[in-house]
Structure 1
């Protein structure tokens, strides 16, 4: 189903953006509280302080905006990682970046009593960077050097290590457990717009730079020797891509906690639609990643209503079969 012409891809992108906006509207309407489109419209045009208007304006609006931003960030980070590592399973969750960021935040909460959004953001960036460095270092050991298989194994090992350390800290600190347990499951419930505004100055430029970098990544995927022959500074491109992954992944974790599988599923789906041109894969990842997370969040409200399950559980349910399918196909980049 690969779209051939730029015109078709442009129309597809517009449709994807329309889907994202439609789902965000649905996020404002659907939930345990009985609301409809008129209620949502009135909440923005003639706010009167009723429970329905407060729910729309102060609860559901932040969830819709945060869901779209986090989904876009994770999908784009996964696409960059898959391009740079030539590994179809690469994503912030599989390579331990989410787990590393989450572990650093739990350490900060447990020992340093950090509770500000700005603090969470900076600490998540540090944790993501540390995890990425460790995975790259461990994956480079051996006679063959860095390979997709070794990267995946190193990432899985680091993710398991950071997750175990996180659980160990929470066992000995019940106060921290109460504060971060729901966050660690991956959730955008109860998040305020303040948390989004804290990370947006980092995430938005990262998205824009990623779109600009897409042409250079296209060249790099042809092979490092070819890219160097065409005059590209491959080291600069790789370093920039790594920094973008840290910002996008760390920023997403700071807001919503570690949410898995968005970074795996969406890049492959985008590649299925537009082929291997990263000038199109990246913008498709932005709109489709946001759409998937907002859709998963809507479903999470209804599974065990009136209670809600964390959206990270929903993305795991959606993404696990796809992960198994990709793993069974092997490590040949599509």
Structure 2
């Protein structure tokens, strides 16, 4: 892939920031309830407490959560693709997000979990165990963990975990009522309290990923060459893996399982800024935030006065892109 000049990369990031600001403004302005522009202005410039102003103010934490979750999934997808050198790597496809979902549902149904912080810890553990399981299964046989074997083992694990979630929820109407919308994936229940609880986990996960950017660039040359260059391959893999799993687990705990963001975003970012992870992770965070925020806006507008959860919108976007990647890349390693 052609190396992008630094000015081009900076321009891409600046353009991404501008688009993200625009997407955030649209997210606050448009929703299932139509409000006038003067009501939007009044919501932030006065203490008016009308229905329209309240609706506008409620969209702010939703917008912030959509940006945080989208950025987290975008960065996690880029890290996972870099670690596995697999163009099909995605938290949902590799079974990481379903593992987090199964852990949360099991915790609530069998252990009485009821706090957001508890959900996050359990989701991170579930995501870690699921990813380790998928990697182990995909490593069996000749050739080790090839992209195709990882994708197939991830798909099988996702199907199994989804069935287990249904088996847990169906007899438990109380749990089903709580999580029937969460399972679809959405940010409709956002609040400043939830954001404050999940933010430390997202920050830690992002920092773990960022400290590994140089190591990820070296790993792209192959493990043997990376060791020859002095890279501590196992340490880099473990730290980057923990960062990606923390981001996936925490995002899933607060927004439910959202598919394909971690698949689509890194591929687009490589076209824009190249394969250097120092630029790739920054652009993946921006584009992931943009994608999920815009998808949430679209879901609110097209189904007025109801709404379509953002997880459905991203699936509609991501499924054709997944087919395109399979046909274009022919499931070869990055």
**Maintained 8 Å contact 1:3/1:9:** no
* Unaligned ranges ≥5, structure 1: none
2:307 is aligned to 308
Partner of 1:118: 117
Q: Which moved more, 1:196-205 or 1:290-299?
A: 196-205
User: 1:211–1:283: 8 Å Cα contact kept in structure 2?
Assistant: no
Structure 2 partner of 1:201 = 200
Where 2:170 maps in the other structure, the secondary structure is helix
Given that 2:266 and 2:280 are in contact with CA atoms closer than 8 Å, whether structure 1 keeps it comes out as yes
CA distance in 1, matches of 2:268, 2:44: 35
TM-score (norm 1): 0.96
CA displacement at 1:215 relative to structure 2? 1.6
Q: Normalized against structure 2, the TM-score is what?
A: 0.96
1:2 CA drift (Å): 6.3
What does residue range 154-303 of structure 1 map to in structure 2 within 5 Å? Answer: 154-303=153-302
Name 2:56's counterpart in structure 1: 56
Contact 1:72 1:285 in 2 (8 A): yes
1:60-108 alpha-carbon deviations (Å, 9 max, x no partner): 0111000000001111111101111011010100001110100111111
Aligned length: 333
Whether the aligned pair in 2 keeps the contact of 1:2 and 1:273 (CA below 8 Å) is no
1:17 corresponds in structure 2 to 17
Following the alignment from structure 2 to structure 1, what is the Cα–Cα distance between the partners of residues 36 and 25?
10
**Worse overlay, 310-319 or 209-218:** 209-218
Shift in Å at residue 320 of structure 1?
0.9
- Rounded Cα–Cα distance in structure 1 between residues aligned with 2:36 and 2:22: 14
Which range moves more in the overlay, 105-114 or 21-30? 105-114
Instruction: Give 4+ residue runs of structure 1 displaced > 4 Å after superposition.
Output: none
Q: Deviations over 1:223-251 (max 9, x none)?
A: 11111111110000000111011101001
Instruction: Provide the rounded CA distance (Å) in 2 between the counterparts of 1:138 and 1:65.
Output: 37
Alignment check: 8 A CA contact 2:32 2:307 kept: no
Tell me by how many angstroms 1:305 deviates.
1.2
Alpha-carbon distance between aligned partners in 1 of 2:302 and 2:230, rounded to the nearest angstrom: 53
Counterparts of 1:37 and 1:176 in 2: how far apart (Å)? 40
Matches of 1:11 and 1:37 in 2, distance apart? 31
Matches of 1:56 and 1:122, distance apart in 2: 32
Question: SS where residue 183 of structure 1 aligns?
Answer: coil
Which stretch shows the higher mean deviation, 108-117 or 290-299? Answer: 108-117
Give distance in 2, aligned partners of 1:302 and 1:2.
Answer: 39
Alpha-carbon distance in 2 for matches of 1:274, 1:143: 35
Distance 1:36 1:7 in 2: 40
Q: Higher mean Cα deviation, 111-120 or 227-236?
A: 111-120
User: Does 2:72 align with 1:68?
Assistant: no
Aligned-partner Cα distance in 2 for 1:327–1:120:
34
Q: Which residue of 1 aligns with 2:6?
A: 6
Secondary structure in 2 matching 1:182: coil
